[in-house]
Structure 1
């Protein structure tokens, strides 16, 4: 049980917390009670009684006498009894008042050839031979302390030498020969044995040599030695916390850059370890001192002209500086401590890494009135090349040649089909985008595997390689968007015809033909065609969630890799394509057993008795046969593989088509019908071989033509058109998203990985990819239906 002290008895909690003691300016008054002394009295030296002071009333106020500086106040007699009144007693000769006690004055015992410097007898010759201090940075009292401790350090006083070392570091290794660095700057002086070393010995650590990490080791430990001004020393070897900290010691993982801020409470600096100087060490079997480069608050480097080496060995975190010119106190603190690690492959050790470490300490200053300052610890790596440039040369050359050849063949096919010469630009953009994307991705995967097998760990790419990866990705996305825009624009400008055979062939002999009976059939087929225009073989709505699941599963494995944007992008692309292939295989199995969505359109055409004719280019069309065998008089000229085929139009057929596509031609022929109706009848007659001088031949496409969707064989010219057929799905899907799956899936992969490497947020990448897919789908449906309405002519 705990109880409170009696405040009405002038008692407070004792220092150990287990009892009550008399409050300040109080004396004991029995057991468990105290009483306060009057304002005109003081507590005796033994704390048992109140001794009055000599006071008088001045202007209605009590004014009590204070003892002069050379006097001490006495409250007790020699026998220990309290005095009637406090007496002021002057200290004897050779003593001085210090803390109300007379202590012996050392200066009073100085010889004639000595002078008193801050209470110490110093030889006059030492003071006279010392150079004159020219700078105005040190306060006069601090300069006297420097002279005093310098004299003691010459006599091998370890504490004095440590004080000089701290003052030298606090003044940024000043080159003034009369400053605190005098013993290190004048080589003619005999250096004391207790003098600390302020620079890094090149024999201990050579910047050009560095340290070697053995095979499989990926962490560098940097410890610290703390030197206080009173001679204290402490060597910290191990980190206390796994979290990042702005103070040493610290463990740095190779390839991991980070920055961390810490708040320093200036009111607690004197009670912490921050008021001393620090020496960083490379933690190993034999600790090696690391060099530190200092940057002063004015932004300039420390002058190093008179120092034996440019590598300083000590730095500090907080130092209070007193200005001589202005009566203010500034606080100079460590603003940024930067570790720069340069990693190289060691040629002489098997699978070893050579690490060169540079430490940079940048300082700032602030007024003492500020309670907190911020110190930043930053780690930067200069990594060696991961071999991406060499791997990229190989993959880019191979994939570039293949993509360029395929683009040339594609362009040749487009020109043969009667397409625009402008198609060379989007075709080339798509080929280059695929080459950039897959070459950099394969190079990253190759580099990750090669690093792991060589060094036992995976090093991140260099900064140049990281920039190259981002440049390749952003360029690939930009070029792929050009190709996707061209594909969608080209698909929304094709000519579409619906050939209703009931309008041209009656199911019964001499039966009249109704022109309005086929409206609902054409609308049904047009609706089915509109749905198929934006149907994908693999929907991103299934690929993206599966990719997120794969990335989540890969988290434990991915944590072993360094924090590299390039490697992160490579793993993300790997997860994407893995999910895409998985969804594609499941869709293939589903279509294998349950039927493909591509078979719905031919069945619809056969059900309503309407054929579909779509022109992809000027001389190239796609035909889906819709005639059925319900009437014996109805000639079924398209059976088997020819029911869904391609048409290579002859120049003469295209010339007649152009003539009939104008309204003036229909008027000259005496036809009171729309242009679309005239063209539909013309193509129906073509398939019925009713147009004199026009014919067609059937030919099967070659394996390469079916595999790459290109035209390699030169077809017959003149008045003969060619019907190309194969065993695949209806060729009219070439002008829909179903036939452009490669362009769209690579675009989705590029957008997803591009957003991920830019924002480092996989959920944001998923949302943006899905949003762009829906926006593109909406625009494709909008312009597709607009083009379909322009090509449908219904009489209502």
Structure 2
């Protein structure tokens, strides 16, 4: 009974255990001990289904792979169900195991000496014997024996590689040795030759940190055989293998007995014809060199002599791709067939299929760069594959292939000079065959492991100039190889590789037109700078040529030359943007990145010169003299006593204090606020520019892809930007938005909302304060602010009454002349008037400390006295009180307005020119909005061209705009304001 109870409790616990301890159950189900196959014993194998070591059965041992068992020597197979499920049976003493391992047999029959090897199998002593264990119908013999193969004529047999069959000898043995025995002759690469030759099995690796020449084990094993087989028998595979070795040696002619020299020697010694009448392509030999390597000559006839019949279109899907075909060979020289270059055949970087294949969209400049590990290169290219490129085209309904030249930049001549890296095309040696990765040629004797790979592969396509069909010259493949020592670098090292496709056309005519435009506009800029200098000298009152005149001429010329550079650059960008993006047959191509450097220089020069103009503008603003003329007159005695009865000032000071200075201060403060106003909002302008360029997608028009699209397809993601197109797009958007802002500001905002310039003139009239601005010694601007009501210091009732009179035309006009409304004038002063102004204005302005002492107060009183004298002088001058310093008011002639200069000099009388356009804004930023707009645009574009980052360009430009008001305030502090 107790036993039954105990058994019941155990069963209950077993049933409840999975629910009470689920974690332990899971651990028992999924926990496995880690066991490596190499940790298994000599009589154990690793079970790939259980991941543990299992013992082999009786008479068995572990197989070489460690994953199964085989019979021990002296044991035969009895059953074999695959893997470790075998049964072995021991052979009797003196018996050996047959070659297939299923039977036991005695050695020694057919009068041939046999022996039992350590593996328990029979073997023959002589090299020309085969082992015979069964009859022809498969019946096992009683004893194994050796059969002699007949190596003499009429038979020419020799044991095969398994030594179980007499096979026919190779042709080289029959021809050279007249038998299958080549022991007295030369055996190379499994072939028999009657003559011997010397070869150089070294490969140069000149790009390593320590340049070396490696004795390649591949060359040592196969070069002699390939040479003799190609030279003596014209063996196609051997000749192709010899050509491959020449490519592995980078086409170098440095080694006199290297593969390239050997191939050239075989070709020159051949008396046969040439394939397709090409001198460097002898019949039966591979075409390795496009032109003769020892006498290269000019390559322009190869690259630019014939235009291919292909026509390319941006709209036809069949005609908008480069159909490059590759002939492929393995390292042994076997032809692997043709294949398209699509699908990344020439690209080591991996990417999506659409991005990779976009490299062959015609007209699209393509860039691809990545880092790739050496282990990936070794795994993908355990042996090199060799390519010969062709361009597929159709003519008369038939498909043809055009052989494309290859420029190996690592090719060096017999002196070790990299002749293909120079710009002299007469020294170039063009090849036909190339490889991507070579992990075999650098395996040296005794123990070196060097890897050579294509670090840069570029395809250059040149458009035929002056045609409307969109034809091209033969494309050129340019390759640059890099080398790395795997013994020091390791297989996990990363290397940089790149792939690119560049399109170009001769830009000589375009460059000539650009030079003509620069010359013509530059000449006009010189003339305009001379005219501005003459105008400046007139306004300064100068008569002799001096250094300031020369400096100002250079500064004027710099600003105008900046405009010239900008106009040429903008016209160039707009031209390419219109004609490149709006073509169906591809007839024009963008300048290359190297040719764009002159364009970048133009834009950079424009920015630098425009910056000089901005600095000159700031210096110009510091030299401006401004005087605020107060027309207000003292009130009567009763009002003065009522207002000043509580003061402690002297009677003279009390009389002067009856005219409030706060109106003048208020006008001066408003003038200061006018310094930084613009006709557009800089921050809004930048935001709108970024919105249209990046959000709307106008930036995508700058891609080096002839199809115009704001949202380009995914297969053009790898296309790169054109600096010319980028400048054209950015400037077009910037200028259009700028003109729109200025137009809306002038036509709408100033007319219906607020016009600060006109408001300032109205404020002067309301304050009874005029403003005289001297921008030059003898030239300036005058704002007539004399109140038509005779008083500006009025109560609110008086002010309302005065405004009502003006509204109802019950008072005179505000203008300087009777019945005239013009309040702003350009002033050309006479010499006498300017001298008198300077004499009064000799006292320098001082900064009054917070607590005035007697000495400081005396200086301030002197300044106050000078102010009153100047105020009285200018009031009298405006009222024609001085006959020797009078003035006349007139309009500028059309010529004067166009040239912006005064033809008539003010000798005796000053000249006041009516200026309803408010030209006094020229001393403000408001009057230089176009100059500032152009400077900021050039800054934005230069930063973008340098970084190709619109956001960074916007941030830097906005920072410059934010700093500008601070600079303006500093500049204003240096100007003379009275």
| TM-score, normalization by structure 1 | 0.79
Matched, 1:131 2:250: no
Pair 322,722 (structure 1): closer, same or farther in 2 beyond 3 Å: closer
Match of 2:762 among 603, 628, 636: 603
Q: Distance in 2 between matches of 1:620 and 1:648?
A: 5
Q: Give, in angstroms, the shift of residue 136 of structure 1.
A: 5.0
Partner of 1:678: 869
Partner of 1:652: 832
Cα contact 2:678–2:926 (8 A) shared by 1: yes
Pair 697,302 (structure 1): closer, same or farther in 2 beyond 3 Å: closer
Q: Distance in 2 between matches of 1:25 and 1:705?
A: 112
Matched, 1:698 2:889: yes
Partner of 2:530: 408
Partner of 2:152: none
Partner of 1:438: 567
Matched, 1:169 2:240: no
Q: Give, in angstroms, the shift of residue 582 of structure 1.
A: 0.9
- Taking the TM superposition and a 5 Å limit, the aligned residue runs for 1:304-315 are 310-315=429-434
Q: Distance in 2 between matches of 1:765 and 1:152?
A: 66
Q: Deviations for 1:136-177, whole angstroms, at most 9, x for unmatched residues? A: 565578545444456666667655554444334334456678
Query: What SS is found at the alignment partner of 1:426?
Result: helix
Match of 1:532 among 651, 671, 674: 674
Cα contact 2:824–2:916 (8 A) shared by 1: no
Matched, 1:758 2:946: yes
Match of 2:660 among 518, 535, 549: 518
Matched, 1:722 2:841: no
Q: Give, in angstroms, the shift of residue 611 of structure 1.
A: 1.8
Matched, 1:643 2:823: yes
Q: Distance in 2 between matches of 1:99 and 1:21?
A: 41
Match of 2:683 among 526, 538, 541: 541
Partner of 2:322: 220
- Taking the TM superposition and a 5 Å limit, the aligned residue runs for 1:605-620 are 605-620=764-779
Pair 473,184 (structure 1): closer, same or farther in 2 beyond 3 Å: closer
Cα contact 1:550–1:579 (8 A) shared by 2: no
- Taking the TM superposition and a 5 Å limit, the aligned residue runs for 1:282-681 are 282-284=391-393, 285-296=399-410, 300-301=417-418, 310-320=429-439, 327-339=446-458, 341=460, 343-346=462-465, 349-369=467-487, 370-371=490-491, 374=495, 375-385=497-507, 387-418=509-540, 421=549, 422-450=551-579, 452=582, 456=586, 458-462=588-592, 465-502=595-632, 504=633, 506=635, 513-515=655-657, 517-552=659-694, 553=696, 554-559=698-703, 560-561=705-706, 563-589=721-747, 590-631=749-790, 638=816, 640-663=820-843, 673-681=864-872
Matched, 1:263 2:372: yes
Q: Give, in angstroms, the shift of residue 194 of structure 1.
A: 6.7
Q: Distance in 2 between matches of 1:660 and 1:733?
A: 26
Q: Distance in 1 between matches of 2:456 and 2:561?
A: 44
Pair 507,770 (structure 1): closer, same or farther in 2 beyond 3 Å: farther
Q: Deviations for 1:74-114, whole angstroms, at most 9, x for unmatched residues? A: 9654399xxxx996234124468999976568799987754
Match of 1:713 among 883, 903, 907: 903
Pair 337,784 (structure 1): closer, same or farther in 2 beyond 3 Å: closer
Cα contact 2:828–2:911 (8 A) shared by 1: yes
Query: What SS is found at the alignment partner of 1:604?
Result: helix
Cα contact 2:618–2:971 (8 A) shared by 1: no
What is the alpha-carbon root mean square deviation over aligned residues? 4.8
Pair 377,704 (structure 1): closer, same or farther in 2 beyond 3 Å: same
Cα contact 1:430–1:483 (8 A) shared by 2: yes
Q: Give, in angstroms, the shift of residue 216 of structure 1.
A: 3.1
Pair 524,38 (structure 1): closer, same or farther in 2 beyond 3 Å: same
Query: What SS is found at the alignment partner of 2:827?
Result: strand
| TM-score, normalization by structure 2 | 0.65
Q: Distance in 1 between matches of 2:387 and 2:565?
A: 50
- Taking the TM superposition and a 5 Å limit, the aligned residue runs for 1:774-793 are 774-787=962-975, 791-792=977-978
Query: What SS is found at the alignment partner of 2:360?
Result: strand
Cα contact 1:200–1:291 (8 A) shared by 2: yes
Question: What runs of 5+ residues in structure 2 fail to find an aligned partner?
Answer: 1-28, 36-43, 60-65, 107-116, 132-158, 204-214, 273-281, 293-298, 315-319, 351-355, 394-398, 421-427, 542-547, 642-654, 707-719, 793-810, 845-857
Q: Deviations for 1:122-148, whole angstroms, at most 9, x for unmatched residues? A: 54xx342x3233565655785454444
Q: Give, in angstroms, the shift of residue 434 of structure 1.
A: 1.1
Q: Give, in angstroms, the shift of residue 297 of structure 1.
A: 8.5
Q: Distance in 2 between matches of 1:271 and 1:462?
A: 34
Q: Distance in 2 between matches of 1:496 and 1:390?
A: 50
Q: Give, in angstroms, the shift of residue 316 of structure 1.
A: 2.1
Q: Distance in 2 between matches of 1:312 and 1:35?
A: 49
Q: Deviations for 1:648-671, whole angstroms, at most 9, x for unmatched residues? A: 22222222223223359xx9xx98
Cα contact 1:237–1:283 (8 A) shared by 2: no
Pair 71,320 (structure 1): closer, same or farther in 2 beyond 3 Å: farther
Q: Give, in angstroms, the shift of residue 340 of structure 1.
A: 5.2
Pair 177,442 (structure 1): closer, same or farther in 2 beyond 3 Å: closer
Range with bigger deviation, 89-98 or 428-437: 89-98
Q: Distance in 1 between matches of 2:361 and 2:779?
A: 64
Q: Distance in 1 between matches of 2:764 and 2:933?
A: 29
Cα contact 1:74–1:87 (8 A) shared by 2: no
